[in-house]
Amino acid sequence: MPRPSNTPWLTPYLTVASGRAALDFYSRAFGFTAGHVLDENGVPTHAEMHYQGELVVMFAPEGAWGSTARTPRSLGVEAPQTFYVYCGDVDAIYAQAIAAGAISVMPPADQFWGDRYCMVEDPDGYRWGFATRLDPAKAPANS
- The per-residue pLDDT for range 65-105, each reduced to its tens digit, is 899 999 999 999 999 999 999 999 999 999 999 999 999 99
Polymer length in residues for the chain: 143
What residues have CB less than 8 Å from 99, skipping those under 6 apart? Answer: 28, 29
**Domains and their CATH numbers in the chain:** 13-133 (3.10.180.10)
> How far, in Å, CA of 70 to CA of 86, rounded?
27
Backbone angles phi, psi at 18, to 5 degrees: -145, 125
Looking at the predicted structure, is the pLDDT value of residue 13 above 80?
yes
Task: Record the pTM.
Answer: 0.91
What is the pLDDT of the chain when averaged over all its residues?
Answer: 94
